[in-house]
Amino acid sequence: MHVRWAALAALFLTAVPAAADPAPLTNVRYINESASPLLRSNGREVYAFWAGQGDALLAARVSDAVPRAGHAVSPAPDDELGFDVAWTGTHFLSVRESSEMLWGRFLDAAARPVGEEFAIGEGHHPAIAASPAGIVVAHLHGEDNRARDYLLAPDGRLRRTLPPRLIGDGVAAVAAGESTFALISATSGGHFAGVILMDADGDRIATRSLARQTTALALATDGTRYLIVRTDTTETGPLLAELLDGDGNLGPTLLLDGDRVGKGQAFVSWNGNGWTVAYNRNTHPSVVYVDAAGRQVLGREESAHSGSVTSAVAGMVSWDADVAMASRLPFAANEPVAVARTASEQRLLAATASQAATLVLWADGQTLRAGLRTHDGQWSERELSSRAFANVAAASDGREFVVLAEPYFAGAVQLFRLDPQGNPMGEPVTLASAQGLLGVAWDGTQYALFYGYNVRFLHPRWGLDPRIVRIGGFPVNNNLAVATNGSSFVVAGEQLSCAGGTGQCRPIAIHRHILRADLGPAGAPAPVSGPDFELAGAIVNGNYVVVQRPYPSEPATAAAMPGGSYAVAFGGRVEIRDSAGVLTSVVPTDPTNRDRPRLVRLGDRLLWLGTTRDTRAPYYGANRVVMQFLDPVPPAAAPAIGVTRAGGQATVAWSVPTGSVHGYRIEWRADNAAWTEVEEWFPVGTLQATIPIPEDAARIAVRVRAINDGGASAYSNEAVLTLARRRRTSG
C-alpha cells in the first residue's frame, strides 16, 4: 500500500473524530426569497418573521436602507403557515407547530431568542395574542381539526386549557386587549362564525354570532374594543367590518369594499387613531382606512405592485410575490422593500480535479456556479449559467475541465469547456436530452460524453466528434456513473422500478456496459448486483465499486486510491478498504450531508465534499457546500482585527494568525442585525477590506476567520465602530 495511505489507514483504523468540522467552501450569497412574512411591532420597530427555505424560522428588522438577512429564532414549523408571533409588551413570543405539538419561545425586543423552546401542548396552525395580562394560543386540535385554546401566563406557563368551542374547524383570529381577549370561531368552509369575548382568566363574557358564509376573518383591538373584518357570502364577496365593545355588543355593519375582486385573507391593525384594513383587490395589495368608532370609511388605496397580502401592523403591509415585500403607508409615498433576505440554498452537483486545482459545481438558488480551489488552498468562483440544472457531470484532462449539465424537466444537455482557471472557453454547446443519465470520463487521450443512451467523444484539440453511438439494451434509468481503465470506458447505473402514478421508485438491479476506446462494445450489458446495493461510482481493479444499502436515502460515492485500495463515502462516514475489500479504517464526515457526497483524489490526499444545513451565523439554516480532508490538519488560530471609518465605508484590518493560512472570510452586522458574510474570498496576502455602511446604522461590528485545510479558525475579536445615526427606521 502507498506509504501515505498506509499511514492514513493506521491513523484511522477505528472511527475517530475529525480534527475540525467540515469547512464551508463556497461564498455565501444572500437573496430575497419568496415567503409569507408576518410583520410584528415591538412599539418602536417592525420585524418580519418567516419560515425560510432552510430548516429555520427566521426574523429580521424591516429596514428602508438595506434589506437585512434573517437570523434563526427557532427550528422551522411543519409548514409555511404553521407559526405565529405576538408582542407581549416586553418580549416577542413565537409559537410554531411540529409533529402535532405547539412549541413556544420568547425573543427579546430585537427578536433574538431568550432561553430555550418550551412545549405548550398538542395542536397545529396556531394563532396567538398577548397582553400584560396573559397570552391566548388558539389552534386546531386532533384529526377532526376542532378549535381549542390555551391560556398562558405572561412567562409562558400554561394556566389553563379553555373549554372547547362549540363550533370551529377553521383557523381562528385572536386579539388581546388590556384586560380581555377576543377570538373568532369559524368552520373551515365559512358556513358559520361567531366571536367570543373573554376576561383575563379566560372566562367568557359574551358570545356573538356572525353572518353565515363568512370568510377572510380578521381581528384587532385598540385595547378595549375589537374590530372584526370579514367577507359575506363568498371569498370574493363584499368586505365588511363590525365593532365589538368591551361588554360584547356588536355595532352596525360597515361596508368596506362592495366590489372586492380577489381571494385571500384580510388583516386589520390599530394605528393609534383609527383602523387599517389590508386585503387583496384583484391581485394588488389594498387598504381601507376606518375611523376609531368603526362607522366610517376614511379612504382607500391600492398598491401599484402585485402580490398576496400576508400581514399588517400599524402603518405597514406585507405581501408575497416573486419575493416577500413590505411597504409603509400610504403606498403612493413609499417604495416597497424586501423583507425575507436569507443565505441562498446550495446543492452540490459535481467535482473533479486537475493537476493544479479542484473544480466544484453546485446549484445556488436558480443558478449554476463553478468554484476552483487550487491545491495551495486559494478559492475563486463564478456563475457558470443563470439556468437551473438538475444533473451535472465533470472531468479533467489534468489541465482543463469539461462539464455536462442537464436542465430540469429533461431539457437539452449543455456542454461547457473551462480553462485551467475555471473560465468558460466559448459558449456552451447544446446536445440532446440526457433523460436523467449523465457522465463524462477522460482516458488520457479524449473525453467520452455519456448523455441518455448516447455517447460522443471530445478531443481537447480537435473538438467534438460528430459520431454519436447509441447504447442499446441497457436498462439503466438512474444514477449513471462512468470510469475508465485507460483502454476501455465502463458505464454503469441503476435500474429503477416505479409504481405507476405514485412517484415511488425502488432500485431492482445495477447494470454495467463496457465500451472500447473506439466506441465499439466489449461485451453485452450485464447486471452486477441486485436491489440491496448502491452504485458508488469508482472503478477499482477493473470493477465498479458497489456498496450494500444500510441507508437507502443516503447515496454513496467511491474513489480509487493507490495500491488498489479505495474509499467509499456514505452515511456520514468514509470507509477505506484494501484491494481485497477489507475494511481498514473509518473516517467520520458530516452526518447531516444532504446530497450525494463527492470524493476527490489530490495526489496522495483525499478530499470529501458534501452539503449541510447550518443554523448558525452566517448561514441561518441554508444548505451549504462544505469540504473535509481525510488527513486533517489543525485549523489556524484566530486573527486579531480592528476597524476604522473612512467616509461611508468601514475599513477592517487584521493580523496574520499562527498556523497555516490559505485565506480569510469576513462577517459583519449593523446594530443587532444578523451576521452576514462578505461575498468574497480574501487570499492569504490580503490583510484589509472595506465594507459599505448602511445609512440607518448606529453601530457596525466586524469579525474575521482564517481558513486552511483543517477548516475555519475561531472568530477573531469583534471589532466595533460606533456611528452617529443619520436616519432611524421606526415602526
Q: What is the pLDDT of residues 495-518, one digit of tens each?
A: 777 766 555 666 666 666 666 555
d(CA 191, CA 215): 8
- Mean pLDDT score, 478-489: 73
140-144, 161-165, 281-285: which range is least confident on average? 140-144
Residues 324 and 369 in one domain: no
Residues 339 and 229 in one domain: yes
Q: Which of 144, 151, 82 is nearest to 120 (CA)?
A: 151
Q: Which of 253, 250, 292 is nearest to 271 (CA)?
A: 292
d(CA 529, CA 548): 10
Q: Residue 731 above 60 pLDDT? A: no
Q: Residue 473 above 90 pLDDT? A: no
- Mean pLDDT score, 107-134: 92
Domain annotation covers residue 72: yes
Q: What is the pLDDT of residues 560-571, one digit of tens each?
A: 887 778 888 887
DSSP code for 315: T
Share of the chain above pLDDT 70, in %: 81
Q: Residue 285 above 70 pLDDT? A: yes
Predicted pLDDT of residue 569: 86
pLDDT band at 432 (very low <50, low <70, confident <90, very high): confident
Domain end position, chosen among 296, 313, 343: 343
- Mean pLDDT score, 332-356: 93
Average pLDDT, the chain: 84
Q: Residue 142 above 50 pLDDT? A: yes
H/E run at residue 43 = none
Predicted pLDDT of residue 547: 61
Q: Which domain holds residue 452?
A: 345-531
231-235, 237-241, 400-404: which range is least confident on average? 231-235
Domain annotation covers residue 263: yes
408: left (phi over 0), alpha (psi -120 to 50) or beta: beta
Q: Residue 167 above 80 pLDDT? A: no
Residues 88 and 206 in one domain: yes
Predicted pLDDT of residue 118: 96
d(CA 160, CA 284): 41
pLDDT band at 164 (very low <50, low <70, confident <90, very high): confident
CB burial readout 58-87, b (16+ within 10 A) else e: bbbbbbbebbbbbbbbbbbbbeebbbbbbb
d(CA 24, CA 17): 18
Residues 175 and 63 in one domain: yes
Residues 172 and 253 in one domain: yes
pLDDT band at 17 (very low <50, low <70, confident <90, very high): very low
Domain end position, chosen among 488, 505, 531: 531
113: left (phi over 0), alpha (psi -120 to 50) or beta: beta
Predicted pLDDT of residue 1: 40
Domain annotation covers residue 728: no
Residues 334 and 433 in one domain: no
Q: Which of 649, 653, 651, 731 is nearest to 694 (CA)?
A: 649
- Mean pLDDT score, 574-592: 84
Domain annotation covers residue 27: no
Residues 338 and 350 in one domain: no
Residues 488 and 500 in one domain: yes
Question: Cβ distance 636 to 715 under 8 Å?
Answer: no
pLDDT band at 9 (very low <50, low <70, confident <90, very high): very low
235: left (phi over 0), alpha (psi -120 to 50) or beta: alpha
Q: What is the pLDDT of residues 355-413, one digit of tens each?
A: 999 999 999 988 999 999 999 999 999 999 999 899 999 999 999 999 999 998 768 99
Q: What is the pLDDT of residues 592-644, one digit of tens each?
A: 787 888 999 888 889 999 998 887 888 887 889 999 998 877 888 999 999 99
Residues 72 and 112 in one domain: yes
Residues 326 and 414 in one domain: no
d(CA 731, CA 723): 21
- Going by their DSSP bridges, the two strands 429-433 and 438-442 should be labelled as unpaired
Predicted pLDDT of residue 69: 87
Q: What is the pLDDT of residues 37-55, one digit of tens each?
A: 999 999 999 999 998 776 7
Q: Residue 198 above 70 pLDDT? A: yes
pLDDT band at 471 (very low <50, low <70, confident <90, very high): confident
Residues 314 and 364 in one domain: no
Q: Residue 88 above 50 pLDDT? A: yes
- Mean pLDDT score, 89-95: 96
Predicted pLDDT of residue 564: 79
Three-class secondary structure assignment of 62-122: CCCCCCCECEEEECCCCCCCCEEEEECCCCEEEEEEECCEEEEEEECCCCCEEEEEEEEEE
Q: Which of 570, 564, 567 is nearest to 552 (CA)?
A: 570
d(CA 667, CA 679): 9
Domain annotation covers residue 630: no
- Mean pLDDT score, 253-260: 86
Cell numbers placing 510:
445495477
Residues 386 and 314 in one domain: no
Provide the domain count of the chain: 3
CATH number of the domain bearing residue 106 = 2.130.10.120
Domain annotation covers residue 161: yes
Q: Residue 14 above 50 pLDDT? A: no
- Which residues are paired to 241 by β-bridges? 229, 254
Domain annotation covers residue 686: yes
Question: Cβ distance 509 to 495 under 8 Å?
Answer: yes
- Mean pLDDT score, 158-185: 80
Q: Residue 725 above 60 pLDDT? A: no
Residue bearing the bigger pLDDT, 506 or 267: 267
Domain end position, chosen among 308, 343, 378: 343
35-44, 177-186, 327-336, 611-620: which range is least confident on average? 611-620
pLDDT band at 157 (very low <50, low <70, confident <90, very high): very high
Q: Residue 700 above 90 pLDDT? A: yes
Domain annotation covers residue 712: yes
CATH number of the domain bearing residue 653 = 2.60.40.10
392-396, 469-473, 590-594, 680-684: which range is least confident on average? 469-473
Predicted pLDDT of residue 561: 81
- Mean pLDDT score, 438-455: 87
- pTM, 2 dp: 0.83
Predicted pLDDT of residue 93: 97
d(CA 172, CA 163): 15
Mean pLDDT is highest, among 100-114, 171-185, 524-538, for: 100-114
Q: Residue 170 above 90 pLDDT? A: no
Residue bearing the bigger pLDDT, 655 or 452: 655
| The residue to which cell 441562498 is assigned | 344
- Helix, strand or coil, per DSSP, at residue 321: coil
- Mean pLDDT score, 537-556: 60
- Mean pLDDT score, 525-544: 57
Q: Residue 173 above 80 pLDDT? A: yes
CATH number of the domain bearing residue 431 = 2.130.10.10
